[in-house]
Amino acid sequence: MIKVNRYEDINNIENEAKKDYIDRHSPFVHCEKSAKAGDVFQVTVKMGEEYTHPDDLDHHIATIALYNGQTKLAESNFFAGALGGQGKKGHQTITFNIVLEKNAKLTAQSYCTKHGLWESGVIAVEVK
Ligand SMILES: [Fe+2]
């Protein structure tokens, strides 16, 4: 069974290396809290709030996926070099354009080639 790692509030963690590890692997969903039914709605997923992730050949963010509940809506693939390559770091970021017809519960998952699968918190979007 695949282990799914989840964000912990790094303000409650004292160890600097652990804060960095958790933050840089966590996808954060950024969008408006409400949407108009049938309209294009932008959802940005950004890796890490404070700490950046490596973009090395053997260690990079390979996918970011967006879910509404159990339904996968979109997924983006990345290859080493997308953020400058070996020795570089960055916040891998993707903006998805989706259409919602009813209230949604958005979650993002990301995959690091070295540190596995990570999941964001749930963001509720009210659709009018
Ligand atoms: Fe990693």
CATH no. for residue 116? 2.60.40.730
Range 81-88 average pLDDT: 97
Residue 8 binned pLDDT confidence (cut-offs 50, 70, 90): confident
**Distance from residue 115's CA to the centre of ligand 1 (Å):** 5
**Distance from residue 53's CA to the centre of ligand 1 (Å):** 6
* Beta-bridge partner residues of 53: 90
pTM: 0.96
**Distance from residue 47's CA to the centre of ligand 1 (Å):** 11
**Distance from residue 116's CA to the centre of ligand 1 (Å):** 7
**Distance from residue 22's CA to the centre of ligand 1 (Å):** 9
Q: Is the pLDDT score of 69 beyond 90?
A: yes
CB atoms within 10 A of CB 122: 13
Please give the share of the chain, as a percent, with pLDDT higher than 90.
Answer: 97
Q: Which of 31, 32, 78 is closest to 56 using CA atoms?
A: 78
**Distance from residue 26's CA to the centre of ligand 1 (Å):** 10
Q: Are residues 42 and 71 in contact, defined by beta-carbon separation less than 8 angstroms?
A: no
CA torsion angle 113 4 95 97 (round to 10) = 130
**Distance from residue 58's CA to the centre of ligand 1 (Å):** 9
**Distance from residue 109's CA to the centre of ligand 1 (Å):** 14
What residues make up the domain containing 76?
A: 4-127
Sign of torsion over alpha carbons 27, 28, 30, 34: positive
Domains contained in the chain, number? 1
